[in-house]
């Protein structure tokens, strides 16, 4: 078995082959991130592996390495994603103090994959990939809209001593446009404020159109997930986009650790304690936080659970327990939804 660690970049990728005992094989290989990427890598690894099976361990920079991972998987190879924290840990463990380079990072990624066999395997799901683009674009639009709203409110407070209401809806921007048209302002100031309002209206329109598209895609993919109180179409889209094929998490406990909802054991001197996990996928953690807040308001069973736990654990501790329970519910729902999917998911098929 040969493990190839890859440190991905925008223009080039650096690959290093490693034996099962962690020793490097040959020299690092630098390849351009272009259309001939897969051909070059497969030609190089044949001279290194000598017929042995190959596992490709890619440091988790999926934006730059997505095409690479897809190409290797479609060529019949096994591809695993190595979190950057694992790469950093193995770099500190094996490299000289302070040493950091592309070959060092690639070697650390390979050694991390050897030491952590349960790392996530790459799979290709065209529906999930499409949904991920929409979710990421919507998150970017929401961030830009929030920035613009804050800037516009600051200017309105300065020039008109006015604080508008909800500007994320057409009614709010229409009312504001009418107010600006009638206000006593200089020509330049009026133009800037009207331009900001027009831009905000356009962002609102694009977010609304994305919401409709996401809803159309999510409904057939997640009927059971959408029945959970607190999981909207956009929340379900984030869950599907970030998790992908739920079967890569055989238990809800593994999903809880991935989302940062599983407490971390900190045992010492025979005293068993746990502390909050501040790692994990923060986008998923945010979805679970929102779902827990909604359930606290509208779900009787969640209200009963929180009322029972708050005296002992406090409001935050009780909410975290609720989030952990929600992981179990979400995992079951996504397993149910996954069983009804009709489309093909490409993944590595081990040799018989």
* Residue 8 phi, psi (nearest 5): -85, 145
- Residue 10 CB: number of other CB atoms within 10 A? 9
Cα–Cα nearest to 277, from 253, 295, 296, 294: 253
**pLDDT tens-digit map of 29-64:** 999 998 899 999 999 999 988 888 999 999 976 677
**pLDDT attached to residue 61:** 64
Task: Report the residue count for the chain.
Answer: 352
pLDDT by position in tens, the chain (length 352) = 899 999 999 899 999 999 999 899 989 999 999 889 999 999 999 998 888 899 999 997 667 788 899 899 999 999 999 988 888 888 888 877 777 899 999 999 999 999 998 888 888 888 998 999 999 999 999 999 999 999 999 999 999 999 898 999 999 999 999 999 899 999 999 999 999 999 999 999 999 999 999 999 999 999 999 999 999 999 999 999 999 889 889 999 999 999 999 888 777 777 777 777 777 889 999 999 999 999 999 999 999 999 999 999 899 999 999 999 999 999 999 999 999 998 888 877 776 5
* Residue 267 phi, psi (nearest 5): -75, 140
3-class SS of residue 3: strand
> CB-based burial of residue 222 (10 Å sphere; 0-12 exposed, 13-18 middle, 19+ buried)?
buried
Cα–Cα nearest to 20, from 3, 45, 6: 3
SS3 content of the chain, % helix, strand, coil (to 5): 60, 10, 25
> CB-based burial of residue 34 (10 Å sphere; 0-12 exposed, 13-18 middle, 19+ buried)?
exposed
d(CA 208, CA 86): 39
d(CA 216, CA 233): 9
Residue 193: which residues within 8 A CB-CB, separation 6 or more? 152, 155, 156, 159, 180, 185
**pLDDT attached to residue 320:** 92
**pLDDT attached to residue 62:** 64
d(CA 180, CA 200): 14
| 297-324: burial string, b at 16+ Cβ within 10 Å, e else | eebeebeebbeebeeeeeeeebbbbbbb
* Residue pair 62/132 in contact by the 8 Å Cβ criterion: no
**pLDDT tens-digit map of 145-154:** 999 999 999 9
d(CA 211, CA 207): 6
């Amino acid at each position: 078995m040969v493990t190839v660690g890859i440190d991905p970049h925008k223009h080039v990728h650096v690959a290093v082959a490693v034996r099962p005992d962690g020793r490097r094989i040959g020299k690092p290989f630098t390849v351009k991130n272009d259309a001939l990427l897969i051909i070059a890598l497969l030609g190089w690894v044949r001279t290194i592996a000598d017929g042995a099976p190959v596992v490709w361990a890619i440091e988790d920079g999926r934006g730059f390495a997505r095409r690479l991972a897809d190409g290797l998987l479609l060529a019949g190879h096994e591809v695993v994603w190595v979190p950057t924290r694992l790469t950093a840990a193995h770099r500190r463990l094996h490299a000289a103090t302070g040493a950091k380079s592309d070959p060092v990072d690639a070697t650390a990624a390979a050694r991390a994959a050897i030491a952590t066999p349960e790392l996530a395997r790459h799979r290709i799901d065209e529906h999930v990939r499409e949904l991920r683009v929409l979710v990421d674009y919507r998150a970017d639009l929401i961030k830009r809209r929030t920035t613009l709203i804050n800037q516009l409110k600051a200017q309105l407070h300065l020039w008109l001593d006015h604080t508008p209401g909800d500007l994320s809806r057409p009614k709010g921007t229409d009312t504001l446009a009418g107010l600006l048209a009638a206000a006593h302002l200089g020509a330049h100031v009026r133009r800037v404020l009207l331009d900001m309002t027009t831009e905000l209206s356009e962002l609102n329109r694009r977010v609304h159109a994305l919401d409709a598209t996401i809803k159309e895609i999510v409904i057939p993919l997640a009927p059971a997930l959408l029945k959970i109180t607190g999981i909207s179409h956009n929340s379900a889209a984030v869950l599907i986009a970030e998790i992908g094929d739920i079967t890569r998490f055989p238990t809800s406990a593994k999903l809880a650790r991935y989302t940062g909802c599983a407490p971390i054991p900190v045992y010492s001197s025979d005293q068993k304690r746990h502390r909050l996990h501040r790692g994990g996928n923060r986008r998923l953690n945010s979805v679970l936080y929102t779902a827990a807040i909604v359930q606290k308001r509208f779900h009787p069973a969640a209200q009963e659970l929180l009322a029972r736990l708050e005296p002992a654990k406090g409001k935050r501790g009780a909410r975290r327990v609720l989030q952990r329970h929600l992981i179990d519910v979400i995992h079951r729902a996504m397993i149910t939804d996954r069983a009804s999917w009709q489309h093909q998911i490409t993944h590595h098929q081990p040799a018989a």
